Amino acid sequence: MLNEITPLILTYNEAANIERTLKHLTWAEKIVVIDSYSTDETLEILHSYVQVQVFGRKFDTHAKQWNYGLQQVKSPWVLSLDADYIITDELTAEIASLPADSDIDGYFAFFKYCVFGKPLRSTILPPRQILFRQEKAIYIDDGHTQLLEINGKCGMLSSYIHHDDRKPLSRWLWAQDRYMVIEAKKILETANSELSLSDRIRKQKVLAPFIVLFYCLILKGGIFDGWHGWYYALQRILAEILLAIHLIEAEKFKP
């Protein structure tokens, strides 16, 4: 199965992460990377791996970037990864054992969020479709991120992806600020009846940061992860505060 899969990765200034991701993909004959013209050492790291094929494309939306990447993949299967995803040995072995002639067209995987390399007990991240048949897939935009639509049956993998982002706080804040501008626009332009429960709560602005704190530390057991759990909870609270501020600005300071 592994020889029928091409990992597909998006990058922009991912020098803090990308090499750890690539080191767990040595089994791949080819890795396709769509880079949004990185200005740090990302390209230097990418070019040090002979199986990596880099395509430069100016970023506009996540869906368009991913769909451009799908066009560059020539293998039957795609392994879709962010630049801070680690494919564990257990997950690699599980993927290798999948039957290539199955009627399943895509697979979801669960996450373990890592703080400075330490996997937490739980995360607020939902499972993501990471492995799928190239000809059956298309990405669509969804707020600041994207959704993958698969024309076929989907299954679930039992092994975990490790999400291990080690970019500095300044870069994390820059990215979250951009994301939350888009997320606020989506929430305000969508009818309440069409919003998810979580987005309806976020639209109220005040409640979401407190709910996220309780959810991460208590319901998800982050308090038992020590300072790593608090670090993750504070990140998620800060993200919700940024969203609340952008919602207020969009509502109160319309041009």
Threshold 0.85, pTM exceeds:
yes
pLDDT at 38: 96
- Say which CATH number the domain at 10 has: 3.90.550.10
Percent of the chain residues past pLDDT 70, beyond the cut: 98
Tokens of 164: 């291990």
> Which residue range forms the structural domain that includes residue 32?
2-163
Per-residue pLDDT reduced to its tens digit, 189-200: 999 999 999 999
Tell me how far CA of residue 107 lies from CA of 82, 225, 230, in angstroms: 16, 29, 31
Same domain, 10 and 92: yes
Confidence label for 105 from pLDDT (cuts 50, 70 and 90) = very high
**What total number of domains does the chain contain?**
2
Q: Does residue 255 carry a pLDDT above 80?
A: no
Reply yes or no on whether the pLDDT at 86 is more than 70.
yes
Single out the residue in 133, 163, 193 at which a domain terminates: 163
**29 vs 27: CA distance, rounded Å:** 7
Q: Are residues 133 and 36 in the same domain?
A: yes
User: In what helix (H) or strand (E) does residue 108 lie, and over which residues does it extend?
Assistant: strand 104-115
Q: Are residues 154 and 230 in the same domain?
A: no
The terminus-to-terminus CA distance of the chain in angstroms comes to 54
C-alpha–C-alpha distance, residues 217 and 215, integer Å: 6
> Are residues 127 and 243 located together in one domain of the fold?
no
DSSP of 123-143, one letter per residue? -SPPPEEEEEEGGGEEEEEET
Q: In 3-state terms, what secondary structure has residue 84?
A: coil
